[in-house]
Structure 1
Amino acid sequence: MRKKVIPGILLIAFLCSCGDKAPADSDYLGKFNIETDLYFAHFDLKTDVDDAHSVAAVATMLADERFENVRYHAVTGAYGIQGGEYVPANDLFELAFGESWSDAHTDFDQALDEVSALAANVIQNGGKIWIAEGGQSDFSADVVREMRNRLPDTDIKNAVHIVQHADWNEEVTTAEDLAFVRDAASYHRIQDGNTVGNGTPGFRSDDVIDWRESIQDPRLISIWEKAIEIADTYNGVEDRYLNESIMKGGLDFSDTSETCWIFGFNDLEDSNAFFEEFSAI
């Protein structure tokens, strides 16, 4: 069962800047102000199992010893209007994020309240919200609506940044919600994280990636093992999307591309480069 999130208490992570140039102020890592900002990792987990791998990749980034003092929170079940079955991964989220996550699949209203409380607190104190969309923008749209309701005198468009990487994610976002976030928030559409060489990291590979050569930390090994187990169990099952790269034994953590863009890891070319970057873990 998911542990209750206590607003204001977050696991801490600090991401180093590489790739995109950071402002001269050392408080910044990529585009993110580590003194004031809050990072949200949203995952739909419906119906592509790539989100499971992406959770493990984000957890790997957050576990690096360079990653201190950045506040974060994750959300599962942040999906849109697509059909197909949800991929249950609560055990993985607990391993990856401890208490710093919310379950919008099981209880949308509670998740919205938890996330909105965290976001409002940061914005009221002059910080910005950075949302990496590992799926659709329906949940994010409701967060933005809550921010406008709770903070009517605040420039929410400047305070909330939403990062999206996939045509399909946009296509199965409720049209009204997509139009709303594009207008009411700072909406950043980057190149697809499934493809190598298009200006953002390409983290989908048909080839087997020996991640164990790079990942040594027992906790992270458990996270990757759980992520791969979940992906293999539900891939293509009961009308879920069949991810052919994962079926072939490869990895697909393409939804991590937005996180790389936010924090200045945009120069990582592919999965091998990702694990080389974090080989000390």
Structure 2
Amino acid sequence: MTKKLLTFALVLTTLFSFNSYSADTKFNKDKDLLLLNFDLKTDVDDVHTIAALDLILQSDEFSSINYYAISGTYGIQAGLYVPADKLFNIVFNENWTDAHQYRQTSINRTIKKINKTLSENGRVWITEAGQSDFTQELLEALTGFGVKYTKDQIIVVQHATWNENETSVDALAFAKKQTTYIKIEDGNKEENSSPGFNNKDYSVKQLENPQLISSKAWIEANKVSKKYNGVNGRYNNKNIADGGADFSDLVEVTYILDITNVDTVSDFFAKFNKTNALSKKH
């Protein structure tokens, strides 16, 4: 085999291995950790994402998964932060940390979770509802504490090209080199390989119905959205302003947890929304 053909074969082998890995490896509910990174800057779509995620975390299938949420994982983008501490408390209880106000403390708390998972032969799956700058900081801190990991142990899932563009060049390159970095299609659009979780015609006001299991989360999410959407130069999410839904960042979670048959906003709520009488509270 010539050197040129050998090089081509090696490239094909590498590509096949990565594609096979990303397609076949599944989240292990017994061992793996789901890290939920939320930039909350400056779009309020993360607020809707958190409220929608509450339904998944209350479902019988996923109520026992190991997860940890982090607020304020933004990169280099300009604009103001969207405070949503009460919503985080409602949805995640004490299982979250505030990297906006306490970045180093949040890094320390998170790497303890990561280290525990890795030491028990689990994988860490990171949803980038924002940029990868915080992910870089986490992994550099792990290395600083002498914790070793391989690319197949840390899986980063990103859906938005905009998020990548608002990540520092160094952080994005680092994430792609040091982790299994998976780019899925945009959750703002329907009719691609990701669900379309952005719909101006789906009224989220109805989700405040006290008979529904996530009513408290949606009451708070709608309150935060109304207070901060487009205010003081923040991004004006027109669909949310008009009462519609935008939890596009949730497609990373549905990808990681292999949740199917939720191609649209209506499909998602048909699958997960239940009344209190039918639910098992987490």
Task: Give yes or no for contact 1:51–1:134 (8 Å, CA) kept in 2.
Answer: yes
Please give the alpha-carbon distance, in whole angstroms, between the structure 1 residues aligned to 2:62 and 2:198. Answer: 24
Q: 2:191 aligns with which of 192, 197, 201?
A: 197
Q: 2:94 aligns with which of 93, 96, 99?
A: 99
Q: 1:34 aligns with which of 6, 29, 33?
A: 29
| Helix, strand or coil at the partner of 1:195 | coil
| Helix, strand or coil at the partner of 1:115 | helix
The Cα offsets for residues 150-197 of structure 1, whole Å up to 9 and x where unpaired, read as 345x34311111100001100011110000000001111000000011
Evaluate the alpha carbon distance shift between residue 67 and residue 221 of structure 1 in structure 2; reply closer, same or farther with a 3 A threshold: same
Matched residues, percent identical? 36
| Helix, strand or coil at the partner of 1:40 | strand
What amino acid does structure 1 have at the position aligned with 2:80?
A: E
Task: Give yes or no for contact 2:194–2:251 (8 Å, CA) kept in 1.
Answer: yes
Q: Does 1:171 align with 2:165?
A: yes
Evaluate the alpha carbon distance shift between residue 210 and residue 82 of structure 1 in structure 2; reply closer, same or farther with a 3 A threshold: closer
Please give the alpha-carbon distance, in whole angstroms, between the structure 1 residues aligned to 2:209 and 2:119. Answer: 38
Q: Does 1:276 align with 2:270?
A: yes
Counterpart position of 2:128: 133
What amino acid does structure 1 have at the position aligned with 2:107?
A: L
Please give the alpha-carbon distance, in whole angstroms, between the structure 2 residues aligned to 1:73 and 1:229. Answer: 24
Counterpart position of 2:46: 51
Aligned 1:251-270 pairs, distance under 5 A: 251-270=245-264
Task: Give yes or no for contact 1:147–1:156 (8 Å, CA) kept in 2.
Answer: no
Task: Give yes or no for contact 2:212–2:273 (8 Å, CA) kept in 1.
Answer: no
Q: Does 1:224 align with 2:190?
A: no
Q: 1:86 aligns with which of 81, 94, 107?
A: 81
Counterpart position of 1:11: none
Please give the alpha-carbon distance, in whole angstroms, between the structure 1 residues aligned to 2:200 and 2:153. Answer: 38
Task: Give yes or no for contact 1:232–1:247 (8 Å, CA) kept in 2.
Answer: yes
Evaluate the alpha carbon distance shift between residue 228 and residue 162 of structure 1 in structure 2; reply closer, same or farther with a 3 A threshold: same
Please give the alpha-carbon distance, in whole angstroms, between the structure 2 residues aligned to 1:41 and 1:106. Answer: 17
What amino acid does structure 2 have at the position aligned with 1:180?
A: F
What amino acid does structure 1 have at the position aligned with 2:268?
A: F
Q: TM-score, normalised by structure 2?
A: 0.85
Higher relative contact order, chain-length normalized (CA < 8 Å, sep 6+): 1
Task: Give yes or no for contact 2:37–2:128 (8 Å, CA) kept in 1.
Answer: yes
Q: Over aligned residue pairs, what C-alpha RMSD do you find?
A: 2.1
Residue 232 of structure 1: how far off its partner (Å): 1.4
Please give the alpha-carbon distance, in whole angstroms, between the structure 1 residues aligned to 2:64 and 2:250. Answer: 20
Please give the alpha-carbon distance, in whole angstroms, between the structure 1 residues aligned to 2:204 and 2:228. Answer: 22
What amino acid does structure 2 have at the position aligned with 1:104?
A: A
Please give the alpha-carbon distance, in whole angstroms, between the structure 1 residues aligned to 2:212 and 2:268. Answer: 19
Evaluate the alpha carbon distance shift between residue 213 and residue 141 of structure 1 in structure 2; reply closer, same or farther with a 3 A threshold: closer
Task: Give yes or no for contact 1:257–1:266 (8 Å, CA) kept in 2.
Answer: no
Please give the alpha-carbon distance, in whole angstroms, between the structure 1 residues aligned to 2:184 and 2:251. Answer: 9
Please give the alpha-carbon distance, in whole angstroms, between the structure 1 residues aligned to 2:40 and 2:208. Answer: 26
The Cα offsets for residues 126-158 of structure 1, whole Å up to 9 and x where unpaired, read as 000011111111111111222333345x34311
Gaps of 5+ in 2: 1-22, 276-282
Gaps of 5+ in 1: 1-21, 24-29
| Helix, strand or coil at the partner of 2:57 | helix
Evaluate the alpha carbon distance shift between residue 186 and residue 211 of structure 1 in structure 2; reply closer, same or farther with a 3 A threshold: farther
Q: TM-score, normalised by structure 1?
A: 0.85
Q: Does 1:160 align with 2:159?
A: no
Evaluate the alpha carbon distance shift between residue 104 and residue 210 of structure 1 in structure 2; reply closer, same or farther with a 3 A threshold: closer
Please give the alpha-carbon distance, in whole angstroms, between the structure 1 residues aligned to 2:135 and 2:97. Answer: 13
Task: Give yes or no for contact 2:207–2:218 (8 Å, CA) kept in 1.
Answer: no
Q: Which has the larger share of helix?
A: 2
Residue 266 of structure 1: how far off its partner (Å): 4.3
59-68 vs 236-245, which moves further: 59-68
79-88 vs 58-67, which moves further: 58-67
Computing the radius of gyration over CA atoms, which structure comes out larger, 1 or 2? 2
